[in-house]
Structure 1
Amino acid sequence: MPIKTYHLRYVALLVMVLCVGCQAGAKPAAPTLAPLPTPTAVPPPAWQDRDTYRAAMLEAAADDVTRIEAPTFYQIEAYVDITAHPPRVYAIQNTHYSNSTETTLDSIFFRLFPNKPGYGTALTLERVTAEGEEVELHFQSEGTALGVALPNPLPPGQSVDLHMEYDVTVPVENARGYGTFNYQGDILLLSNFFAMVAVHEDDGWNLSLAPDYGDPVFAETSFFTVELTVPQDMVVVTSGTTVDRRDNIGETTTWTCISGPMRDFMVVASDRFVQSSTAVGHIRLNSYYLPGHQQAGEQVLAYARDSLRAYQQSFGLYPFAELDVVEAPIQSGVEYPGLVVLAEQHYEHSGELTEFLVAHEVAHQWWYSMVGNDQVNVPWLDESLSNFSTIYYYEHTYGQARAELAFENFVARSYRQAKEEGRDGVVLQPVAAFAPQDYGPIVYGKGAVFFYELREKLGDATLLDILQDYFEDRKYKLAVPGDLLRVAEIVSGQELDGFYTEWILSAE
């Protein structure tokens, strides 16, 4: 057979076979595809990476950065113009917020405390975006609460990135709110100058506003990276730890500071500060004071050192790498995470009251900073316990007799006097429910006496076990009175509702 004829027949036969196969439903084999590569996870920026904040912790407590469930991360670049009248802070803020509630959120609320009535200042927003989109804004609580409408609902467990640009005017010689948001005597105090995420509770966002004689902050534990640019001759003291400082063209310096897990971030700056330092174990303890106040500044440092030792032994480890105590033109003393501000008068006329105030404010590092609470509506939970805790400072430093005397003079006497004058009151009330003259005797006095009497009832060893367990149970979290009562009853094995009602929920 000729090759050409064979070839034609072979092709025809092959076509017939293929056609029959197609009619029978046969399918050609699918080609083999190479597996797709696994996408590489994009790491978060450093300010959203928990490991970044280990540098602000003791080595023994560095893993605490992993204990916070769904924390908020703040990145703030702030530029201080001290020559403006009044001084101004220009800020760019990025906030990474995770919805840890059980509710899908349409808005996120921030507290804008520079807008608090009476300050005469403002936090003026220039730009706000969520996930890069412009958003609607609405204000509540006399301008101190900002609602940011999200472009898309935020389900539980999901996160959103928000960007803000704003400027803040700082009041001059301002005594409102203890004077901690103020520029006076060449000292700049920037308490709550930034946009702070509000707390979302079961019934919605908590937007309560405290009067001037109460602490305003109710906040979840978060992480902060703050870059503050100031004149080169200013010393900057903040919550957390300074990790970088660089001089810029134009005679300014940028300080980069990070926090551990903290629920607030305070800044104090001045070109007048003198510094003394010491250590408690691996904790760096700093005292900043004005020229001419070295003796008082170093005495304050010693009080803070002994307080830190006493409370670590009594309640648990202070986990941060440093603690600062700063002289400033304020009223009395005010606590912040990792930082205590003390009034100038206590350096000019240092005495027993100064010692007590330092012990009280350092105790707040446990009760408010690490174990948080609603300071506006439930102020006794941290103030009463901090005032009572001073008894451990005095017992550790001087012995029981001196501790009893200090507790009587600085704590119990004010309550006893108010009671004799017919001004007894219920301890569990919001700040605004108290007249200014009654707030101290009832919250700082009667509430602290409750703990004193509880120690008498249960014994010192049992009460210390209660406080240690309460600290570990609510560390970096928010506490309510029921948490304290629950732990106390479990540890003591006693029912304490009646005792609690008598002291905290009742008045004669």
Structure 2
Amino acid sequence: MIRRRLPSRFALCVLLLTLLASACAPAASTPLSPHPILVTVDPNSTATSTPFQPPQVTDTPLPSATPLPTDTPTPTETATSTPPPTETVTPAPAIPPATPVPVNSRTQYTFFVNLDYAAKTVAVNETIKYFNATGQSLDNIVMAVEPNLWSNVFALTSLDQDGIAITNYSLAGQRLTIYPAQPIQPGAMTAFTLSYGLTLPAKTYEKTFGYLGYQINLTDWYPFIVPYSGGWMLHDPWSFGEHLVYDAADYEVNVKVSDPKVIIAASGLAEANGDWTRYTVVGARTFALSASDKFKIVESAVGSAVIRSYYFAGQEDAGRAVVWMATQALGLYGVKFAPYPYPSLSVVETEVPDGREFDGLVFLAEKFYVEYNGTAKSNLITIGAHEIAHQWWFGLVGDDQTIEPWLDEAMATYSEKIFYEYNYPNYGNWWWNFRVNYFGPSGYVDTSIYNGGTFRLYTNAVYLNGANFLNELRTRVGDEAFFAFLQDYAARFSHGRATTYDFFSVLRQYTGADFSDIMRRYFQNQY
């Protein structure tokens, strides 16, 4: 079994980047308080009142965005409402991107989306080509319709299967159950077509979906077929955590916008398709869009993967820092875990408590941009590295993030540690104190969103104690086995869905070390 290692050239480049960053004039900043909310907010949670003073480490400003050499003058960025020119920053060493090949048995989603930006409405025609790979004869199909959890937002106007209208269905809350005239046999392909409208709600602080005065976010905005594993996997919403589970699928999203000044950030790259703008991505679990006539953009690349930072006027330094952080993260994670699985990455500023991940697109809190202190010792960089890590731990390797959320949340949290370890090694102690030790985490790592107690207890157990577990595990088995395991785990479950049993089954193939004592301390169940 081949064990991929960090190429020496890439290691030298990473070292050079670190030395260059360290050579920048230091700019001491006010120590930042830890961010008490990690990924999903609990409206009743409160920040710890005890102020935290991180270790006295000289803050190193992040490098400024440096345009790549070009034969033509680099256009200057403007603050007009027209789409701004993009600025290209020097990328990290190129990592060959993954080239996911569409699989015949993978569900395919095709959308034609008319977005009326001023009216805050969306008209959608959606076709789902579904291949029954369950091995079971299916007499019903279950779709998740997240917008229907809001009142008067989702309006279904037509539904058919293979061109024949369906009248036997039920829509209650987030659950759309379709009863085909004939059961769908194992190995059979069928197509569902839906037409519907969305009257977008005002976006609440805790959610990404909806509109602000200057931005529209479309997240979990369309009906999708939920995974089937002995039954349809559609969990009930909870006050915190993610309740949706997704299969990997292929997406083609064609968009028309009423206002030509509106800029779209999306999970895929844009191309012309007649009167439409088409975005495509394969092997993804979600497709998200964010629209604004106020966006400013700065751009970079790692290999063939295009990275774009979408931010608002007045946050230029933070917007550039984000694209630099994303360049570092994709370069590093692409070597330590697996090649980046998508053609692009959009990092979007919006009004949320923290951050939220979707395939090829992540949101970061507006307040992180406002509070950005010019260094990597900031929530903007820390949470950014976390959300980008979800492109591997959630996007590439899926899981049931309701029942076993540690498989992506603990992994993404520990990926932050790896990000700092390789890019800002002097900040290692700061990261542990700022992100983990400050909260004194305890609790079992294999906690579901339903039995986690309060939001604070849940995140302490799953995210933070999960990071403690992974660090102890890495120390016990050694770096060579640990990273070889991560690469094989990512490869085996690429575009699939892993369980805790899968995690430890693969791990045991890479080490003979006994880590049962660690598992007993961190897990309530044995695997």
Normalised by the shorter chain, which TM-score bucket? 0.7 to 0.9
Q: Which of 423, 427, 430 matches 1:405?
A: 430
- Cα offset, 1:246, TM superposition: 6.0
Question: Which of 387, 391, 395 matches 2:413?
Answer: 387
Q: Is the 8 A contact 2:476 2:515 kept in 1?
A: no
Does 2:218 align with 1:190?
A: yes
Answer yes or no: is 1:102 the counterpart of 2:132: no
For 1:178-228, what per-residue CA distance to the aligned partner results, in whole angstroms no more than 9, with x for missing partners?
A: 3210201310001011111111112x1011023242124311110111112
Q: Provide the rounded CA distance (Å) in 2 between the counterparts of 1:428 and 1:115.
A: 30
For residues 214 and 523 of structure 2, what CA distance do their matches in structure 1 show?
43
CA distance in 2, matches of 1:124, 1:496: 53
Distance in 2 (CA, whole Å) between partners of 1:321 and 1:315 is 17
Distance 1:245 1:344 in 2: 33
What is the rounded CA distance, in whole Å, between the counterparts of 1:237 and 1:334 in structure 2?
Answer: 15
Map 1:453-464 → 2, pairs under 5 A: 453-464=472-483
Residue 76 of structure 1 corresponds to 111
State the Cα distance separating 1:61 from its structure 2 match: 5.1
Task: Select which of 213, 233, 244 maps to 1:217.
Answer: 244
Secondary structure, counterpart of 2:394 in structure 1: coil
Task: Describe the shift of the 1:59–1:346 C-alpha distance in structure 2 as closer, same or farther (beyond 3 A).
Answer: closer
Matched, 1:65 2:111: no
* Structure 2, gaps ≥5 residues long: 1-93
Q: Distance in 2 between matches of 1:447 and 1:59?
A: 28
Change (3 A) 1:381 1:122: same
Matched ranges for 1:227-238 at <5 A:
227-230=254-257, 231-238=259-266
**Cα pair 1:127 1:166 within 8 Å, conserved:** yes
SS for the counterpart of 2:488 is helix
Cα distance in 1, alignment partners of residues 320 and 239 from structure 2: 31
Match of 2:271 in 1: 243
1:259 to partner: Cα distance = 1.0
Do 1:450 and 1:504's aligned partners in 2 also have CA atoms closer than 8 Å?
no
The answer as to whether partners of 1:314 and 1:392 remain within 8 angstroms in 2 is no
Contact 1:370–1:477 (CA<8 Å) still a contact in 2? yes
Q: Deviations over 1:362-414 (max 9, x none)?
A: 11111000001111221111000110011111111122x42243123212432
Provide Cα deviations, 1:251-306, integer angstroms capped at 9, x if missing partner.
xxx32111121011001010000110112222211111111111110011111111
How many angstroms does 1:245 deviate by? 6.4
State which of 136, 160, 164 in structure 2 corresponds to 1:129.
Answer: 160
CA offsets per residue over residues 10-40 of structure 1, 9 Å max, x none?
A: xxxxxxxxxxxxxxxxxxxxxxxxxxxxxxx
CA distance in 1, matches of 2:193, 2:145: 15
Distance 2:97 2:326 in 1: 21
Aligned partner of 1:378: which letter? E
Q: Secondary structure at the match of 1:464?
A: helix
Equivalent residues of 1:199, 1:218 under 8 A apart: yes
Name the % identity: 27
Q: Is 1:361–2:380 an aligned residue pair?
A: no
Unaligned runs of 5+ in 1: 1-57, 248-253, 419-423
SS in 1 for 2:287: coil
Q: Give the structure, 1 or 2, with the largest relative contact order (CA under 8 Å, sep 6 or more).
A: 2
Partner in structure 2 of residue 480 of structure 1: 499
Give the alignment of 1:418-429 within 5 angstroms. 418=441, 424-429=442-447
Shift of 1:496: 4.4
Is 1:239–1:337's contact at 8 Å kept on the other side of the alignment? yes
Q: Which residue, 443, 454, 466 being the options, matches 2:462?
A: 443
Instruction: Give the distance between the partners of 1:300 and 1:59, measured in 2 at CA.
Output: 19
Is the Cα–Cα contact under 8 Å of residues 443 and 461 in structure 2 kept in the other structure?
A: yes
**Aligned alpha-carbon RMSD (Å):** 2.1
* 2:71 counterpart residue number: none
Amino acid at match of 1:75: T
Question: What CA distance in whole angstroms lies between the structure 2 residues aligned with 1:209 and 1:137?
Answer: 23
> TM-score if structure 1 supplies the norm length?
0.80
Is the Cα–Cα contact under 8 Å of residues 447 and 504 in structure 1 kept in the other structure? no
Separation (CA, whole Å) in 2 of partners of 1:446 and 1:137: 47
Corresponding pairs, count: 427
Aligned-pair CA distance for 1:349: 1.1
Query: Could you say if the C-alpha distance between residues 412 and 201 of structure 1 is closer, same or farther in structure 2, counting changes exceeding 3 Å?
Result: farther
Which structure's residues are more often helix, by fraction? 1
**Residue in 1 aligned with 2:304?**
282
1:157 to 2:187 alignment: yes
Give the residue type in structure 2 aligned to 1:217: L
Q: In structure 2, what residue type is equivalent to 1:410? A: R
State the SS of the aligned residue for 2:228.
strand
